[in-house]
Structure 1
Amino acid sequence: MAYLKPPWFTAKIFNKAAMAFGIGGATTLTVTTRGTRQPQQIPVVVPEVHGIKYLVSTRGESEWVRNVRADPNVKLGDVGFVATEVPVDQRAPIIAAYRPLAGKVVEGYWKKLPDDADHPVFALTPAR
């Protein structure tokens, strides 16, 4: 699978600021890492389509994607959800809703990874 590694500044500085201040409408996604079972936090923009919230990976097969596949119990802020991966053939309308919310910064990712298969998408169901 394809993956676009974020530059150092994005990973170490911008992502922390985005989570702290909600830059660009970001909220904090917390997942459990596969190896250490420690929390991993990243900023995400969450589109809602037909009343369902979704996670979209702009950079492809990222660590958070692999972590969600290993343990689908995630949190957005303080709210728990169970993530279910969306099949590739059902991703287009979700990605179409996501891209305007995320802004121009993500357009470069789609130029480098143009196929919907390159962007894992997860539907979020409230945890019980």
Structure 2
Amino acid sequence: MANSERIRPPWWLKYVNKVMIAINKTGLLKDGPVVLTVTGRKSGQPRSTPITPFEVDGASYVVGGLPGSDWVRNVQANPEAVLVRGKVRRPVRMVELSADEARPLLRQFPMLVPSGVGFMKNAGLVTGPHPEEFEALAGRCSVFRFDSV
């Protein structure tokens, strides 16, 4: 499980997330980001954020791109969540992987989610799309598997 390190998100992320959530509601995006809705660990209210899941060997995963981000801490407190794309809602249970389980998935991340590379590079976590740099984030960036409920 990831440690308590926290990297502050860029100032613009909240605004971009709101735009992505609005675009998602239209149902026009068939691939790419989905909206993850989880219960806030302090407020108990639904909290939504766009995420980009990826698939490996028939299972779906997501990487918490910023260590200690609010959505990651909310999922750690309550793993029941809903994935939304357009009008389709899919309840899931999010299972956090151990660092050893996460390593091979993080290694594949730059190829499977190229849009995430720039984000993680800007956060200072990696210098580019180098699989070994992403693999080294195991235990630092949380990786979750989506299980159907």
- The normalised TM-score by structure 1 is 0.86
Q: C-alpha separation between the residues in 2 aligned to 1:36 and 1:107? A: 28
| Aligned mate of 1:117, from 122, 133, 139 | 139
Root-mean-square deviation (CA, aligned residues, Å) is: 2.1
3-state SS in 1 of match to 2:66: coil
More helix by share: 1
SS state at 1:61 partner = coil
Q: Distance in 2 between matches of 1:45 and 1:19?
A: 12
- Once the 2 structures are TM-superposed, how far is the Cα of residue 2 of structure 1 from its aligned partner? 2.0
1:4 Cα offset (Å):
1.8
Q: Which has the larger radius of gyration?
A: 2
In structure 2, C-alpha distance between the alignment counterparts of 1:97 and 1:26, rounded to whole Å:
18
Identity %: 27
Conserved 8 A contact 1:99-1:106: no
Structure 1 residue matching 2:60: 3-state secondary structure: strand
Q: Give the number of equivalent residue pairs.
A: 126
Find the aligned partners of 1:30 and 1:2 in 2 and give their Cα distance. 23
Q: Give deviations 1:38-68, integer Å, cap 9, x for gaps.
A: 0111110001111111121010111111111
SS of corresponding position for 2:12: helix
- Describe the SS at the equivalent of 1:17: helix
Amino acid in structure 2 at the alignment position of 1:21: I
Classify the secondary structure of the residue corresponding to 1:91.
helix
Runs of 4+ deviating beyond 3 Å: none
The offset of 1:17, in angstroms, is: 1.4
The answer to whether the 8 Å contact 1:46/1:98 transfers is: no
Instruction: Flag structure 1 segments of 5+ consecutive residues without an equivalent.
Output: none
